[in-house]
């Protein structure tokens, strides 16, 4: 009997969409569509005798459709589409910072002009503020060519075959025109509109199977009950219990609905996010009609050990078959990936020639087939990320995949299959596992997503927001539409990707952006319910710091509060904050505020906000100053109007009689008496500032942490005197 080979390629990107503004803050869905997603299905089309399974997450499908139909704006696309001769300084900084984010050796070096531009900028990003100093070294033609090349380099081999105009532009290499850029963007948009159709067509031909994942890629066992982590992480410090089995069911139901709408039939199989499983999931999967799920081999060994204490991992033949997993009266088929081969493709194959890497895989399959000869219908499941590995291959993985697929397809002792096909023909009959281990594909535990103080803080805030929403639902205070929209924000916040970047396991340049997106989903719950957002959701969870972002006050000040720069020296000695550094130049380009100054006299606190030059201030913009110490206080301006501005100061939610002095003309200036509030000298003052429309938070300053100053007394100037 042949060895049945089931390759499962997992396609996933987290949600990069800021739901408040309807903006995609990162480009990876669009760029991976022109490379990984199109390449992978096109290669299967080229080898009709090969079959496999693709797992496509609903949150990825949703973003592809939003970008294809223009439901959301793409900041990186807008930056690339801006005429090069119209780029602002901020935009030029963003181009230099972000448009080399591709594999240097395989995606930049092969293109002489792109490589030269990288050397001109420097192989290493410059130190703080270095981009601004570099901008003058680049001509308009340099910026235009860089805008073009960043997008061209992310077209893979399938794009080159299907869009000859892209190949022509790659050959042109330099001196691109604005019209050339439009050709690139048109091809990108066409791929976004058609790529999912390629998958549906091959699924309808039964050449591939398409499985799914819980909608927003949550770690289901932790959503079910965070205390389940103790099973595989005994003694771990966990957050206050979060337990919402109903959200588990909802995430799976939403996934089935979108999958059915997109591909025409409901999914039969499930790759649980990060291969995370627990016994309690089995009845839910059976109830919702899932035939199978897949996870890692370590889950199998620990499950077998729990059910059969005398069995060890030496019984590797157990890996090469489907198992019936039971819990109570329910049961579902479990498939366990062969880890060595899966990891070889993801992490090692690119360091070998395509022929050598493919031969290694096939030889490994042959050895498995020989060792299992006469033992029924063995199955070898190879499960891994289907998109991120290919930028490490010089040709995007084309030769390796073609060689691998063709060898398997023609091999007499190997049979390429989908998981559904295998289970239909060879359902498990005698192997039942009554105790499924609780864990993920990474070390068979959940350490990546829970246990670190940052992870736990995220779960705590999620739990508080979920409890708040449930109380509103239970009291019947929400419309059906409000309830569903708020729940969707909760489901999005349950996604695993936020917790992946919290803690010290993994780090990225975009930690703060992921942190902000996570808390934005929670803030939106309160917005939808028409309730003020708790201050706790305004504070970053990440401990990342931005050195030099805030300079504290150094002298007493007494500015004229008139909304304009009355004197060059009136704010000398104030604390100074330059907006946008924490989130990077890309995010900064969308900001309204350029800088903030803050300070004090012996009686008053003063604030000044400067807008970015030349920017159009949207209507109905408001301002909110949130004080965390010495008291929970809010200074709220619902609407900025030219001249005198009306603001309300509240302490612990109770309005106070003292009316702050606020003026808005070219800048915003405000003052209020901290003495009248009972605040004392030497007390610390912590606060942050929001630009808002109603309860919608457009931007927050500082982006990390809070402004800090110590209230002065009458000796301040004497004690802080300096020449």
What mean pLDDT comes out for the span 98-112? Answer: 94
Lowest mean pLDDT among 423-437, 524-538, 609-623: 609-623
Q: What is the rounded distance in angstroms from the CA atom of residue 9 to the CA atom of residue 382?
A: 8
Above 50 in pLDDT, residue 545?
no
Better pLDDT: 646 or 409: 409
Which residues are 270's β-sheet partners?
A: 212, 293
Q: What's the pLDDT score for residue 697? A: 63
Tell how far CA 157 is from the center of its chain. 26
Find out whether 107 and 391 touch, Cβ atoms under 8 Å. yes
Q: Which residues contact 211 (CB under 8 A, 6 or more apart)?
A: 8, 53, 54, 55, 56, 267, 268, 269, 270, 271, 294, 419
Above 90 in pLDDT, residue 551?
no
pLDDT tens-digit readout, 447-460: 999 999 999 999 99
Q: Which residues contact 631 (CB under 8 A, 6 or more apart)?
A: 651, 652, 677, 679
Helix (H) or strand (E) holding 356: helix 354-371
DSSP string across 197-239: HHHHHHHHTTSEEEEB--TT-B-HHHHH-GGGHHHHSTT---P
Helix (H) or strand (E) holding 341: helix 339-343
Which residue pairs from 102-107 have beta carbons closer than 8 angstroms and sit at least 24 positions apart in sequence? 102/150, 102/153, 102/154, 102/391, 103/391, 103/392, 105/394, 106/391, 106/392, 106/393, 106/394, 106/396, 107/153, 107/154, 107/391
Lowest mean pLDDT among 112-121, 411-420, 543-552, 667-676: 543-552
Q: What's the pLDDT score for residue 146? A: 98
Find out whether 524 and 22 touch, Cβ atoms under 8 Å. no
First to last CA, the chain: 90
| Alpha helix stretches (DSSP H) within 50-111 | 58-69, 75-81, 89-98
Which residues are 334's β-sheet partners?
A: 293, 323
pLDDT band at 645 (very low <50, low <70, confident <90, very high): confident
Q: Which residues contact 596 (CB under 8 A, 6 or more apart)?
A: 576, 577, 579, 607, 608, 609, 610, 689, 701, 707
pLDDT band at 588 (very low <50, low <70, confident <90, very high): very low
| Alpha helix stretches (DSSP H) within 86-214 | 89-98, 112-121, 130-134, 140-152, 157-162, 164-172, 178-204
What mean pLDDT comes out for the span 642-669? Answer: 87
Q: What is the rounded distance in angstroms from the CA atom of residue 147 to the CA atom of residue 177?
A: 10
Task: Give the domains, in start order, of the chain with CATH numbers.
Answer: 453-538 (1.20.1430), 550-719 (2.60.40)
Helices (H) and strands (E) in the chain, counts: 26, 27
Token look-up 């498939």 returns: 335
pLDDT band at 382 (very low <50, low <70, confident <90, very high): very high
pLDDT band at 653 (very low <50, low <70, confident <90, very high): confident
Q: What percent of the chain has pLDDT over 70?
A: 92
The crossing angle, in degrees rounded to 10, of helices 453-474 and 480-493 is 170
Q: What is the rounded distance in angstroms from the CA atom of residue 431 to the CA atom of residue 120?
A: 62
Token look-up 């991120």 returns: 388
Closest by Cα among 238, 231, 221, 271 to 11: 271
326 three-class SS: strand
The crossing angle, in degrees rounded to 10, of helices 140-152 and 89-98 is 40
Q: What is the rounded distance in angstroms from the CA atom of residue 78 to the CA atom of residue 94?
A: 12
Q: What's the pLDDT score for residue 129? A: 65
Better pLDDT: 602 or 83: 83
List b or e across 313-350, with b for residues whose CB sees 16 or more CB atoms inside 10 angstroms.
eeeeebbbbbbbbbbeebbbbbbbbbbebbebbbeebb
pLDDT tens-digit readout, 469-501: 999 999 999 999 999 999 999 999 999 999 988
Q: Which residues contact 551 (CB under 8 A, 6 or more apart)?
A: 575, 576, 577
Q: What's the pLDDT score for residue 25? A: 86
Q: What share of the chain is helix, strand, coil (3-state, %, to 5)?
A: 45, 20, 40
Q: What's the pLDDT score for residue 694? A: 67
Q: What percent of the chain has pLDDT over 90?
A: 70
């Amino acid at each position: 009997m042949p060895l049945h080979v089931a390759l499962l390629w997992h396609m996933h990107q987290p949600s990069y969409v800021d739901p408040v503004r309807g903006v995609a803050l990162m480009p990876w869905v669009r760029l991976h569509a022109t490379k990984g997603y199109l390449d992978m299905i096109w290669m299967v089309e080229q080898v009709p005798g090969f079959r496999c399974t693709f797992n496509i997450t609903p949150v990825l499908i949703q973003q592809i459709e939003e970008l294809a139909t223009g439901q959301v704006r793409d900041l990186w696309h807008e930056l690339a589409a801006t005429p090069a001769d119209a780029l602002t300084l901020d935009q030029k900084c963003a181009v230099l910072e972000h448009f080399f984010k591709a594999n240097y050796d395989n995606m930049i070096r092969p293109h002489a002009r792109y490589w030269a531009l990288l050397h001109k900028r420097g192989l290493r990003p410059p130190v703080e503020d270095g981009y601004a100093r570099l901008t003058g070294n680049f001509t308009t033609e340099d910026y235009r060519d860089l805008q073009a090349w960043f997008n061209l380099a992310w077209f893979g081999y399938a794009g080159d075959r299907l869009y000859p105009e892209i190949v022509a532009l790659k050959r042109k290499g330099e001196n691109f025109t604005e019209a050339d850029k439009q050709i690139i963007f048109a091809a990108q948009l066409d791929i976004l509109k058609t790529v999912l159709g390629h998958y549906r067509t091959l699924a309808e031909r039964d050449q591939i199977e398409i499985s799914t994942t819980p909608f927003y890629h949550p770690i289901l066992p932790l959503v079910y009950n965070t205390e389940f982590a103790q099973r595989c992480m005994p003694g771990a410090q966990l957050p206050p219990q979060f337990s919402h089995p109903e959200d588990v069911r909802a995430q799976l139901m939403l996934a089935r609905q979108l999958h059915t709408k997109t591909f025409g039939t409901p999914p039969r199989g499930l790759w649980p996010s990060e291969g995370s499983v627990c016994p309690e999931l089995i009845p839910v999967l059976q109830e919702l009609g899932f035939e199978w799920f897949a996870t890692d081999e370590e889950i199998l060994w620990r499950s077998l050990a729990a059910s059969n204490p005398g069995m060890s991992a030496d019984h590797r033949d157990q890996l090469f078959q489907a198992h019936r997993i039971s819990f109570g009266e329910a049961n579902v088929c479990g498939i366990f990936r062969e880890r060595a081969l899966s990891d070889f493709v993801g992490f090692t194959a690119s360091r070998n020639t395509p022929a050598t890497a493919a031969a290694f895989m096939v030889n490994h399959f042959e050895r498995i087939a020989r060792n299992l000869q006469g033992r029924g219908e063995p199955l070898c499941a190879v499960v891994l990320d289907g998109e991120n590995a290919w930028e490490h291959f010089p040709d995007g993985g084309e030769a390796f995949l073609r060689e691998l697929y063709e060898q398997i397809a023609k091999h007499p002792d190997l049979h390429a299959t989908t998981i559904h096909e295998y289970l239909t023909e060879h359902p498990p009959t005698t192997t039942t596992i009554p105790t499924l281990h609780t864990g993920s594909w990474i070390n068979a535990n959940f350490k990546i997503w829970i246990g670190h103080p940052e992870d736990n803080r995220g779960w705590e805030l999620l739990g508080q927001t979920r409890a708040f929403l449930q109380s509103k639902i239970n009291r019947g205070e929400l419309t059906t539409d409000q309830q569903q929209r708020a729940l969707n924000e909760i489901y999005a916040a349950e996604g695993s990707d936020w917790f992946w970047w919290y803690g010290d396991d993994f780090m990225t340049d975009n930690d703060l952006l992921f942190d902000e997106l996570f808390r934005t989903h929670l803030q939106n719950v309160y917005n939808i319910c028409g309730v003020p957002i708790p201050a706790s959701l305004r504070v970053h969870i990440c401990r990342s710091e931005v050195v030099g972002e805030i300079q504290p006050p150094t002298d007493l000040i007494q500015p004229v509060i008139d909304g304009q720069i009355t004197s060059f020296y009136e704010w000398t000695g104030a604390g100074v904050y330059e907006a946008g550094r924490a989130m990077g130049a890309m995010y900064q380009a969308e900001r309204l505020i350029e800088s903030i100054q803050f300070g004090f006299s012996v009686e008053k606190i003063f604030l000044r906000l400067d807008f970015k030059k030349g920017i159009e201030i949207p209507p109905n913009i408001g301002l909110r100053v949130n004080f965390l110490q010495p008291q929970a206080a809010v200074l709220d301006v619902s609407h900025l109007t030219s001249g005198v501005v009306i603001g309300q100061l509240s302490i612990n939610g109770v309005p106070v009689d003292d009316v702050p002095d606020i003026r808005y003309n070219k800048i915003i200036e405000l003052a209020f008496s901290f003495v009248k509030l009972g605040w004392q000298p030497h007390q610390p003052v912590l606060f942050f500032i929001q630009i808002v429309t109603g309860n919608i938070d457009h931007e927050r300053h500082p982006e990390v942490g809070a402004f800090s100053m110590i209230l002065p007394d009458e000796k301040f100037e004497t004690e802080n005197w300096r020449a």
